[in-house]
């Protein structure tokens, strides 16, 4: 994953940096977002090392002369930041109107009694063979972002819609629980939760997914 660091920091093992100190904060944020589009090619067991990153290609805006359009990056990201700040302010204004959920009529259930949990079916292909630019079927990978979707392929889907997925190998596995609305392609270390007795509707699946994430948050990591 790529993140822009605004302040001096201490680094751990296997952490690399791209020297962008001559660029503005907003340009750095824009570039980090663009770089994030390539991470799906590199699962946990195939690290994105500097020598590999140097040969990757990303899309960036250009001006009428075909040169990098730094002003566009600056203005675009500034607009995004302002929208985020506005959203946070709106959330803080509504925070006092939130109500606790009444769980007096709730009952505990063992997750394993509700779901059969096992690995999703995946193709024995490396990422460069699996993902396609014109792909239409989502591939759910080991990530806590973008509903778990790391890219798209034109291969047949291996899993059905209505499944809750999560990874057993990411740094924060509990962030990777997602309800899949579409048929999708599985991936190594991506687990599926398959209903045993009840066919969950979309809203039921989303609700249960939120409950599970809330229950497990902070308890498990790689």
Span 67-83, pLDDT tens digits: 999 999 999 999 888 88
Query: How many CB atoms neighbour CB 151 within 10 A?
Result: 21
The boundaries of the domain holding residue 51 are 1-85
CA distances from 30 to 36, 109, 112 (A): 10, 44, 42
- The mean pLDDT value for 106-128 works out to 91
CA nearest 182: which of 148, 217, 207?
148
98 found inside a domain: no
Residue at which a domain ends, from 40, 68, 85 = 85
Q: Report how far residue 177's alpha carbon sits from residue 192's, in angstroms, rounded to the nearest whole number.
A: 10
CA 128 – CA 149 distance, rounded (Å)? 16
| Arithmetic mean of pLDDT, 135-164 | 92
Tell me whether residue 104 is in a domain. no
**pLDDT at position 11:** 81
Q: Which one, of 20, 17, 9, 8, lies nearest residue 49 by Cα?
A: 17
Both 72 and 142 in a single domain? no
Same-domain check for residues 45 and 118: no
Residues 146 and 203 both lie in one domain: yes
Number of domains in the chain: 2
**For 146, which DSSP code?**
G
């Amino acid at each position: 994953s790529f993140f822009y660091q605004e302040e001096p920091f201490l680094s751990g093992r296997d952490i690399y940096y791209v020297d962008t100190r001559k660029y503005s904060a907003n340009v750095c944020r824009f570039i980090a977002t663009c770089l994030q589009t390539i991470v799906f090619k590199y699962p946990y067991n195939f690290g994105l090392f500097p020598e590999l990153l140097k040969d990757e290609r990303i899309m960036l805006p250009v001006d009428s002369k075909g040169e990098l359009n730094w002003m566009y990056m600056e203005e675009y990201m500034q607009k995004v930041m302002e929208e985020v700040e506005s959203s946070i302010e709106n959330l803080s204004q509504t925070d006092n109107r939130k109500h606790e959920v009444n769980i007096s009529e709730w009952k505990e259930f063992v997750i394993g009694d509700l779901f059969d949990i096992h690995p999703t079916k995946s193709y024995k292909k490396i990422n460069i063979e699996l993902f396609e630019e014109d792909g239409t079927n989502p591939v759910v990978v080991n990530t806590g972002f973008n509903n778990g979707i790391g890219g798209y392929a034109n291969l047949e889907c291996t899993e059905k819609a209505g499944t809750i997925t999560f990874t057993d190998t990411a740094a924060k596995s509990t962030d990777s629980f997602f309800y899949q609305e579409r048929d999708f392609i599985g991936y190594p270390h991506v687990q599926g939760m398959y209903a045993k007795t009840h066919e969950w509707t979309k809203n039921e699946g989303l609700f249960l997914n939120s409950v599970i994430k809330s229950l497990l948050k902070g308890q498990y990591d790689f």
